[in-house]
Amino acid sequence: MSTIYILWLRQIKRYLRSRSRLIGSLGQPLLFLVALGFGFGPVYQKAGEGSYVLFLVPGIVAMSILFTAMFSGIEIIWDRQFGFLKETMVAPVPRLNIMIGRTLGGATVATIQGLVVLILASLFGFHPVNWVMLPLAIIAMLLIALFFTGLGTAIASLLSDMQGFQLIMNFLIMPIFFLSGALFPLKGLPTILNIVVNLNPLAYGVDALRDSLIAQTYFGLGLDFTVMALTSFIILAIGSYLFTKIQI
The model's pLDDT over 101-111, given as tens digits with 9 standing for 90+, comes to 788 888 888 89
Query: Cβ of 172: how many Cβ atoms within 10 Å?
Result: 16
pLDDT for 229: 94
SS3 181: coil
Tens digits of residue pLDDT in 149-169: 988 888 887 777 777 777 777
**Distance in angstroms (rounded) separating the CA atoms of residues 195 and 190:** 9
Count of structural domains, the chain? 1
Lowest mean pLDDT across 9-13, 131-135, 136-140, 242-246: 9-13
Confidence band of 22 (pLDDT split at 50, 70, 90): low
Q: Which residues, including other chains, have CB under 8 Å from residue 202's CB and lie 6 or more apart? A: 62, 66, 144, 148, 176, 177, 180, 182
Query: Exposed, middle or buried, 11 (CB in 10 Å: 0-12/13-18/19+)?
Result: buried
pLDDT at 230 over 80: yes
> Greater confidence, 167 or 176?
176
Lowest mean pLDDT across 5-19, 28-42, 210-224: 5-19
**% the chain with pLDDT above 70:** 81
pTM for the model: 0.88
Residue 35 near residue 20, CB atoms below 8 Å: no
181 phi-psi bin (left φ>0, alpha ψ -120 to 50, beta other): left
**Distance in angstroms (rounded) separating the CA atoms of residues 116 and 114:** 5
Angle at which helix 19-39 crosses helix 95-121, to 10 degrees, equals 50
Structural domain containing residue 62: 2-244
* CA dist 128 → 156, 160, 247 (Å): 36, 43, 47
- The residue-averaged pLDDT of 207-230 equals 93
